[in-house]
Amino acid sequence: MNIRKIQDVQLKNKKVIFRVGIDVSIENGHAKEKFKIEAVKKAADYLMEKGAKVAIMTYLGRPDGKKDMNFSLEQIKNDVEEILGYKIVFVSDCIGEEVKNAMDELKEGEIVLLENVRFYPGEGSVKTGEEYDVEFAKKLAENFDIFVNDAFSQSHRSQASISGIPNFIPSYAGLLLQKEIEEMEKIKNDFAHPAVAIIGGAKIETKLPVIKFFEEKYDNILVGGKIANEALDQKKEFSEKVILPFDFVDDRLDIGPKSLEKYKEIILSAKTIVWNGPTGKFEEEKYAVSSNEILKTILEIRTSNVHNGHSMSMPYVVVGGGETLEILEKNKAMEKIDFVSTGGGAMLEYLGGGKMPGILCLKD
């Protein structure tokens, strides 16, 4: 996919909107998970090394177009400062004079952190499906020279700060966005067989397109979580490549031991593994068994090339989705996976052939 990249543009002294996807959970006034912030450090370093004047733009939670301080980005200012390694100047707005002044006064080694774009209804609403306001997008752009999108996890949404700003200033893909696209293309078009997709979580209507995609290209699709229950209840018809659980724990809150054994057997022979979504109600320890066992099996074949006396080549593993990442973090396995995507819904949308407004507007 040919898109405009930050490597293609002169950045020195340019005022840059650095649009990132750091919509993290807050616990005791701090970012609960650090991964999303760590993921954009490479691009932040690149922009700073090239002499750009950088302002981070993002959202937190769903304040639905109202100023709600429970969702203020000021709460994560210290986390962003600590992880990115630059002095952060927080600005309590994302448009207007205050932003202009902060950018004019920015010193070397400092980065501006703008307030939550979702405090304005013009950003567009995921909840109501309301379109973004073009005038608001224009206001977001007006204090800047360049827009850099590094928010893969939010690029499946048509919002003012994602696909609106590129109508007004030159726009480019950040390093994380480029890497995410490269990895998605790899698992779409350039993978080794046997290829296995593990799809869990909830909301079958959002997962069906991606199950269909994998059904066409991969050797097996292992389905778990709520979507497996929904598929069984709705008597969805799939090819024999799609495997649904056939025994369960309690009220179908996790897949049962026989299904789990079958899933593990299939995973052990895989050369490509893509995993998005837990296979049980993992928040409760007793229903996290299948998700933990699946991870254990993946790590087993990644750390040992021998299984049951057979020599195995290492599979290529890509994991995405917020809840799946929680499972990795809990098991201290983030570093042991080839690629951990910051996108959950965005990953599914991309692989399922959905629209990616945030990427389409960066195409050459």
Q: Which residue, 274, 42, 51, 58, is CA-closest to 179?
A: 42
Decide if 79 contacts 22 (C-beta within 8 A). Answer: no
Whole-angstrom distance, CA of residue 40 vs CA of residue 22? 9
> Which CATH number does the domain housing residue 169 bear?
3.40.50.1260
pLDDT tens digits, one per residue of 111-161: 999 999 999 999 997 776 778 999 999 999 999 999 999 999 999 999 999
290/240 same-domain check: yes
pLDDT tens digits, one per residue of 243-276: 999 999 999 999 999 999 999 999 999 999 999 9
- CB neighbour burial string for 8-36, b if at least 16 within 10 angstroms, e if fewer: ebebeebbbbbbbbbbbebeeeebebbbb
Q: Which of 176, 195, 221 is the last residue of a domain?
A: 176
191/169 same-domain check: no
* Band of pLDDT at residue 364, cut at 50, 70 and 90: confident
Residue 361 lies in a domain: no
105/249 same-domain check: no
* Band of pLDDT at residue 303, cut at 50, 70 and 90: confident
193/105 same-domain check: no
pLDDT at 25: 86
Phi, psi of 192 (to 5 degrees): -95, 145
Decide if 113 contacts 56 (C-beta within 8 A). Answer: yes
128/154 same-domain check: yes
pLDDT tens digits, one per residue of 48-90: 999 999 999 999 999 989 999 999 999 999 999 999 999 999 9
Amino acid at 200: G
Q: How far is CA 326 from CA 36, 116, 199, 277, 282, in A?
A: 12, 24, 15, 10, 9
Tokens of 325: 């990442």
Q: Is pLDDT of 19 > 60?
A: yes
The answer to whether the pTM exceeds 0.85 is yes
161/251 same-domain check: no
176: which residues sit within 8 A by CB, 6+ positions away? 39, 40, 42, 43, 150, 152, 342
Q: List beta partners, residue 318.
A: 274, 339
Which domain, by its residues, includes 87?
6-176
Whole-angstrom distance, CA of residue 252 vs CA of residue 42? 42
- How many domains, in total, are found in the chain? 2
* E strand spans, the chain: 15-19, 26-27, 30-31, 53-57, 87-91, 110-114, 146-149, 171-173, 195-199, 220-223, 242-243, 248-249, 254-255, 272-276, 306-307, 310-311, 316-320, 339-340
pLDDT at 305: 57
pLDDT at 267: 97
Tokens of 208: 């069906």
Q: Which of 130, 145, 176 is the last residue of a domain?
A: 176
106/245 same-domain check: no
* Band of pLDDT at residue 312, cut at 50, 70 and 90: low
Q: Which of 300-304, 337-341, 360-364 has the lowest mean pLDDT?
A: 300-304
267/162 same-domain check: no
Residue 146 lies in a domain: yes
| Helices 225-233, 204-217: inter-axial angle, 10-degree rounding | 90
pLDDT at 268: 95
104/241 same-domain check: no
Q: How far is CA 7 from CA 2, 4, 12, 101, 105, in A?
A: 13, 8, 12, 28, 26
139/207 same-domain check: no
200/154 same-domain check: no
216/162 same-domain check: no
* Band of pLDDT at residue 302, cut at 50, 70 and 90: confident
pLDDT tens digits, one per residue of 211-232: 999 999 999 999 999 999 999 9
pLDDT at 257: 97
Residue 1 lies in a domain: no
